[in-house]
Structure 1
Amino acid sequence: MKGLGQRLENLRERSDYKQKEISALLGFTTNVYGMYEREERTPSLETLVKLADFFHVSVDYLLRGKEYHPSEELPTDILDLKRLLKLYRNNGIENPSILRVEDLNSLSASDLAFLDKMVKLYLDKDKVAKK
């Protein structure tokens, strides 16, 4: 867990604690926290959770040095759908028909192609009008 010790040290210094104080506050034996900072000892998962809670950061931050953002892990098409849903909701449409798969399942391939073409034509018309 390279870098964990440095992150712990930075968090401790920002919080204005001494190593022994954190050990005592979290119920560790004396100097255990210092061993974590020096990376002489690896904290258990339970201890990582305690440390993350204590410093108000995520375990992911302690381990990897960055906060976890689930949207970074999603494929582009899913991100596009999430953005589209947000666009609808921002415009007062909570449950758009175009995104309800159960409603679209009954459409044939030609119906779906027609629907897609109509949306594309409408969007293209809107782009031309704005020029």
Structure 2
Amino acid sequence: MNEFAIQLKKLRTAQGYTQQQLASLLHISKSAISMYESGVREPELSVIQQIADIFSVDMDTLIGTHLEETGTPVTSPFLNMKKLIARNGNQLTSEERENLIKLLSELNTQ
């Protein structure tokens, strides 16, 4: 089984979603979720990003390239804040954006 399949199931069950609930959020079939979790099928990149957003993790965590030593996915509210700034940052000046990202990066390393 691939890392994506393992992480998807781990995150889904840890956050209390059924396969059907997750499928409904993604507008796909329950069988697609089942195939993702069994490693039979892999989703498109856009679906991986949607799944990462639902579970508030980055894509590296979801595909298994960013794990704590315990094998547990790393989640961080700072990653979510960076995403929000990136998506909605057009209302900020470039200096304000840079300052926010710098602040978040400093907080994330503490």
What is the TM-score with the length of structure 2 in the denominator? 0.56
Q: Does 1:12 align with 2:12?
A: yes
Q: 1 or 2 for the larger relative contact order (CA 8 Å, sep ≥6)?
A: 2
Q: Report 1:15-54 matches (<5 A).
A: 15-54=15-54
Shift of 1:64: 2.7
Question: Which runs of 5 or more residues in structure 2 are unaligned?
Answer: 68-73, 75-110
What is the TM-score with the length of structure 1 in the denominator? 0.48
Deviating 4+ runs (over 2 angstroms) = none
Contact 2:7–2:64 (8 Å) recurs in 1 = no
Aligned pairs, how many?
68
Shift of 1:34: 1.2
Q: Give the 3-state SS of the residue equivalent to 1:31 in structure 2.
A: helix
Measured against aligned partners, the alpha-carbon deviations of 1:106-128 in whole angstroms (never above 9, x if no partner) come to xxxxxxxxxxxxxxxxxxxxxxx
Kindly, what percent of the aligned residue pairs are identical? 29
> In structure 2, what is the equivalent of residue 3 of structure 1?
3
Larger Rg: 1
Measured against aligned partners, the alpha-carbon deviations of 1:25-60 in whole angstroms (never above 9, x if no partner) come to 110123211111111111110011000001000001
What is the aligned-residue RMSD (CA, Å)? Answer: 1.9
Q: Report 1:1-131 matches (<5 A).
A: 2-66=2-66
Amino acid at match of 1:61: T
Rounded Cα–Cα distance in structure 1 between residues aligned with 2:13 and 2:65? 16
